[in-house]
Amino acid sequence: MQPAIKSFLGLCLICSTAGAVEPAATPATPPPSAPSTQAAKPTPTAPTGVKTATTAQPLTAEQLVKNKQQQDAKIKALVQDQASRLKQLEHANLEALAQNQELQLKNDSLSVQVQVLQSERSAQMFLYGAVTLAGGVLLGFFIASYIHTKRRRQW
């Protein structure tokens, strides 16, 4: 049960961080024609003959967007992996619960069989005692009658 709780908490943590990062990380990307116009446009404070290096800024922004997309893809893959593991754990948990219930029923059945066998054994011992007692009584009568008839003959 503890691994299931840990994986569930891990999944919640990943989902909460993915949700918290995603809205701030989805900047409005400019249309494809915008970077080319920004790269060719000189800044107003620079002299007319000198152009600033603005071509690096759109590339870093694109790289940041690509990195963010890669991170989002990794996070989504982790979430999917955690979800699949959670499903596997739930499936294994259900199988274990079914097996547990089956074993409990089997245990109850065996307990009933043990009680039946114990009661049969006690009934069998009672019958053995009754037969032994009856045999002892009959043997006592035979011995007493034999002794009694023997005394009559001697007189």
Taking CA atoms, 27 is separated from 21, 40, 56, 113, in Å, by 12, 23, 18, 72
| pLDDT single digits (tens) 10-44 | 666 676 654 444 444 444 555 444 444 444 444 44
Give the pTM. Answer: 0.40
Query: Within 10 A of 98 (CB to CB), how many other CB atoms are there?
Result: 10
Three-state secondary structure string covering 7-51:
HHHHHHHHHHHHHHHHHHHCCCCCCCHHHHHHHHCCCCCCCCCCC
pLDDT tens track, the chain, 155 positions: 576 677 776 666 676 654 444 444 444 555 444 444 444 444 445 455 545 544 444 557 888 888 999 999 999 999 999 999 999 999 999 999 999 999 999 999 999 999 999 999 999 999 999 999 999 999 999 998 888 776 666 55
Instruction: Report residue 61 CA to chain centroid gap.
Output: 44
Tokens of 9: 């908490």
Q: Can you give the pLDDT at residue 39?
A: 47
Q: Among residues 85, 104, 102, 78, which one has the least CA distance to residue 16?
A: 78
- The span from the first CA to the last CA of the chain, in angstroms, equals 93
**pLDDT tens column, 108-117:** 999 999 999 9
